[in-house]
Each structure stands twice: as structure tokens, then as C-alpha cells.
Homo-oligomer: A and B are copies of this chain.
Amino acid sequence: MPTDITPQKAQDILHAYISKNGLKVSRQREVIAEVFLQAGGHLKIDELLERARKLDERISQATVYRTMKLLAECGLAESRTFHDGFTRYELADGHEEHHDHLICTSCGIIVEFMDDAIEARQEAVAKKNGFDLRHHRMELYGHCRKCRE
């Protein structure tokens, strides 16, 4: 079940992490966090940078990288790398329901899905092979309905 995290709660988590670790709140961090939280996932660094710059002209790419790392550290963001080689960030599991991805290799659209049967079998497969399963990555690639028309 999605924790239904609000941008406000997320900012609280970020601020808590910041003060707990003796870091500082900055305009850049707030803007980048805001942009990320509102976007709803799967954004590449340059997409985040572009959106952040609409709110604040003087945000650098390096700061986006650094801030997304920070958001990942405090548990709000999670990085993913699909076949195109770009790192993307999305809301972290735990704050959002766990899911995997369907990706259209033609238009690039990314659809999230979750299948309990698959999750259960993954656990079973891991156990059968003597593994203690920690996390997984599953991406299905194909052509979406629109692109087949």
C-alpha cells in the first residue's frame, strides 16, 4: 500500500535528515526536492536540472547530482538504470508501493506494474538456490499499444 507521501511530509523527512547530520538547508535543495517529488518518477538528471532551472536559474548540474544522492540517502529517492544507460530517479519503495517496469522500446514510455505471483516466485527461486533475496530488478521491454498501431 502506497504510503501516500505528500510533498510536505517528504520535505519534513529531508529536513530531519539534514539537521540530524549537521547539513544545511539550501534554496537549491528545496527546489530540486520539490521538482523531483512533483514529477512522479523516472526523471533523468538533465530533466530534473531543466525543471529546477525553471524555478531557479542558477542551479548547476553538479548540485542536482549531489542533491539526488542526498535524497537517496535519506530514503526518499531511488536510482534506476534502464537499458538506455541513463540514471533515473523515482520515489523510493517504502514511500511508494514496490513495482517493476514495462518499457516501450519505440516511444520510451515507462509503465509501472506489480505482480504478486511474480514476486512470490522470485522469493521461491532465490530460496531454492540458497539465496537470501534482498532486492531485484525486473524490466519488460516491448512495444506499447500506441506504437503498434
Residue of B131, B139, B144 touching A102 (CB-CB under 8 A):
B131
**In the complex, what distance in Å separates the CA atom of A140 from the CA atom of B141?**
18
**Tally of contact residues, A, Cβ under 8 A:** 32
* Min CB–CB distance A81 → chain B (angstroms): 7
Do residues B130 and A141 form an inter-chain contact, with CB atoms below 8 A?
no
Residue of B102, B115, B125, B139 touching A140 (CB-CB under 8 A):
B125
Contacts of A83 in B (CB 8 A): 81, 137
Given contacts A83-B137, A136-B139, contact A144 B130 (CB under 8 A): yes
A-B CB proximity, top 4 nearest: A130-B145, A133-B142, A131-B142, A138-B138
